[in-house]
Amino acid sequence: MASVKPWSLVLVVFCIMSLSYFVNGAGSNEGLGASFIFGDSLVDAGNNNYLQTLSRANIPPNGIDFKASGGQPTGRYTNGRTIGDIVGEELGVPSYAVPYLAPNSTGKAILYGVNYASGGGGIMNATGRIFVNRLGLDIQIDYFNNTRKQFDKLLGPSKAKDYISKRSIFSITIGANDFLNNYLLPVLSVGARISESPDAFIDDMINHLRNQLTRLYQLDARKFVIGNVGPIGCIPYQKTLNQLNENECVDLANKLAMQYNRRLKELLSELNGKLQGAIVVHANVYDLVMELITNYTKYGFTTASKACCGNGGQFAGIIPCGPTSSLCKDREKHVFWDPYHPSEAANVIIARQLLSGSTKYISPVNLKQLRNL
Ligand SMILES: *[C@@H]1O[C@H](CO)[C@@H](O)[C@H](O)[C@H]1NC(C)=O
Ligand SMILES: *[C@@H]1O[C@H](CO)[C@@H](O)[C@H](O)[C@H]1NC(C)=O
Ligand SMILES: *[C@@H]1O[C@H](CO)[C@@H](O)[C@H](O)[C@H]1NC(C)=O
Ligand SMILES: *[C@@H]1O[C@H](CO)[C@@H](O)[C@H](O)[C@H]1NC(C)=O
């Protein structure tokens, strides 16, 4: 029989101690434990790199300002950090939530959170079909169900439940693609507009989202933050396509977003009453981004209409950002990085409001308050 060497015992004790740091650290108030991120390309951190899809951002110059990768593309649809990255950092999570589909997102790598977001994804399963593959919210929640079981194995069922319900925040940033890459697509393609009125479509979205949030609750999520849909009629893509002037936005797209947003707000207050012990925070991304676009000079931007990286038309808004795109010099002076997505500079301003802003943009509590509850 082999004898146990003293140093191997030391190693075992050390491992137990570092695991108990996670487990017992769960009771302390030193920052958030984990950040679970659901949504679309606004917060995708690389899941689409692992899909056969037409929606990809792991090509330069995406990520050019992302310090953690030394400026290499990671699959984030922006030049630097996403809102999800910045919020996690500011709430004290030691590292960015790992993309669920990355092969090395296993074991302890998931303790600080997992990111399920996928470029092209939406609330409805059919959304983003033009990209061939993407993860819709139903599938993202199926994946969290897998993660949930892994937490039981890592921490034990009782501590896992505590960690998930008390020390984790669940953020959901979704809905824009349900309009841009579903309902508003030209009538001859896959758009639901052929068969459904806006009221019926938005009704469907809200009913789906109610089920989806309830499923997360059943899996012990308690601290939620849900973003509404931004002013999608003001993105460079829509403005270029519709040949608008600098300070105009596409009316129909913004009207649909506002109509959905009103229903979302009602849904979230309904769930705040219905889901015992949960707190559901509403992030008013629409008004926040609208303020940024309207008053961009106040925030040090020189344009809120032209994409920094893109090509085509007046606002470089037709062809997505890639190696052959024209690239602006002053990236921190553009609200939009590409035809669809905000720059890191804009993300920083948006994230700051969500973290510590007033109820005008984040209610009933802001994210720093939510963490400390
Ligand atoms: C997983 O692999 C990627 C790519 O090699 C690397 O950048 C990342 O840091 C790794 N993540 C973890 C949690 O080990
Ligand atoms: C959407 O996809 C999910 C996951 O594949 C599936 O469970 C669900 O039934 C689908 N929903 C609809 C309405 O097709
Ligand atoms: C999670 O997965 C199990 C099967 O492993 C299933 O029975 C359960 O309904 C799922 N929960 C949710 C909320 O989807
Ligand atoms: C832009 O700033 C002005 C002056 O501070 C303010 O009155 C207005 O509401 C802002 N616009 C938006 C869309 O928030």
Give per-residue pLDDT as tens, 223-264: 999 999 999 999 999 999 999 999 999 999 999 999 999 999
For residue 249, the ligand closest to its alpha carbon is 4
Q: Which atom of ligand 1 is nearest to the CA of 69?
A: 7
**pLDDT of 13-64, one tens digit each?**
444 444 444 444 444 445 689 999 999 999 999 999 999 888 899 999 999 9
78 sits in the region (left: phi over 0; alpha: psi -120 to 50; else beta) called beta
The protein residue with its alpha carbon nearest to ligand 4, atom 1, reads 295
**pLDDT of 285-341, one tens digit each?**
999 999 999 999 999 999 999 999 998 888 988 888 999 999 999 999 999 999 999
Active site residues: 41, 338, 341
Q: What is the pLDDT of residue 130?
A: 84
Q: What is the pLDDT of residue 16?
A: 44
Q: Where are the beta strands (DSSP E) in 5-161?
A: 34-39, 98-99, 114-115
109 lines ligand 1 (CB under 6 A): yes
Match 């769960």 to its residue by tokens.
26
Would you give the DSSP letter of residue 190?
Answer: T
pLDDT, mean over the chain: 90
Q: What is the pLDDT of residue 184?
A: 86
**pLDDT of 91-114, one tens digit each?**
999 999 999 999 999 999 999 999
State both tokens at 317: 């808004």
Q: Greatest CA span in the chain, whole angstroms?
A: 82
Give yes or no for residue 4 having a pLDDT over 50.
no
CATH class of segment(s) 27-284: alpha beta
Domains in the chain: boundaries: 27-284
Q: What is the pLDDT of residue 53?
A: 87
Q: What is the pLDDT of residue 87?
A: 97
Q: What is the pLDDT of residue 32?
A: 84
What is the distance between the alpha carbons of residues 104 and 370, in angstroms, rounded to a whole number?
30
Q: How far does the centroid of ligand 3 lie from the alpha carbon of residue 186, in Å?
A: 37
58 lines ligand 4 (CB under 6 A): no
Give yes or no for residue 189 having a pLDDT over 60.
no
Q: What is the pLDDT of residue 366?
A: 98
pTM for this prediction: 0.90
For residue 46, the ligand closest to its alpha carbon is 1
Q: Which atom of ligand 3 is nearest to the CA of 141?
A: 14
Q: What is the pLDDT of residue 316?
A: 84
Give yes or no for residue 68 having a pLDDT over 90.
yes
State both tokens at 329: 């010099």
State both tokens at 112: 């600080």
295 lines ligand 4 (CB under 6 A): yes
What is the distance between the alpha carbons of residues 370 and 167, in angstroms, rounded to a whole number?
10
Residue 227: φ, ψ to 5°:
-85, 145
Across 3-7, 222-226, 246-250, 353-357, least confident range: 3-7
145 lines ligand 3 (CB under 6 A): yes
294 lines ligand 4 (CB under 6 A): yes
Question: Cα angle vertex 281, ends 279, 282, to 5°?
Answer: 150
Give yes or no for residue 158 having a pLDDT over 70.
yes
The protein residue with its alpha carbon nearest to ligand 1, atom 11, reads 104
